Amino acid sequence: MTYRILEPRFPLGRTVGTSAVIALGIDLTRYLFRHQCGDWGDLCDEDKQANDNALVQGGRILSSYRLPDEQKIFVITESDRTSTCVMLSEEY
C-alpha cells in the first residue's frame, strides 16, 4: 500500500463560509485541508489543470467536494490568497 503525505501548497488566508454552508453544522476542516493540499475533489481534468497553473502563475483556485449527504460544496481561494470561501454549489 502506498501512502501520500499531504502538505499545504498555498495559504488559505481568512477562511469564511456562507450562512447556508455553516447552517449544515458540519466540520469543514477536512475539505479545507484537501483544497489547500491540492486535492481538487470532483473537478474535470481541465479545471484541475487550471488550479495547478494558478499555483504557479497566480489566479483563483476552486475545488468541489461531495458531502456525506451528497450535497456539493465549492471551496474558492482568491488569487491574492487573502481569503477562502466555502459555499454550497447552488450559491455559486
pLDDT tens for each residue of 36-79: 999 999 999 999 999 999 999 999 999 999 999 999 999 999 99
* Residue 6 in domain: no
Q: Is residue 76 part of a domain?
A: yes
For the chain, the average pLDDT equals 95
CB contact at 8 A, 60 and 52: no
Is residue 52 domain-resident? yes
In three-state secondary structure terms, 61 is strand
Domain region containing 35: 14-91
pTM of the entire predicted model? 0.93
Q: Is residue 1 part of a domain?
A: no
Where does the pLDDT of residue 5 fall: very low under 50, low under 70, confident under 90, or very high at 90 and above?
confident
Residue 2 is assigned to a structural domain of this protein: no
Residue 29 included in any domain: yes
Query: Considering only CA atoms, which of 88, 70, 90 is closest in space to residue 22?
Result: 88
Tell me which residue has cell 495547478.
Answer: 52
Q: Cell for 83?
A: 481569503
C-alpha cell read off for 75: 471551496
The domain total for the chain is: 1
Residue 38 lies in a domain: yes
Task: Map grid coordinates 491574492 to a residue.
Answer: 80
- Cα–Cα distance, 44 to 83 (Å, whole number): 24
Report if residue 87 sits inside a domain: yes
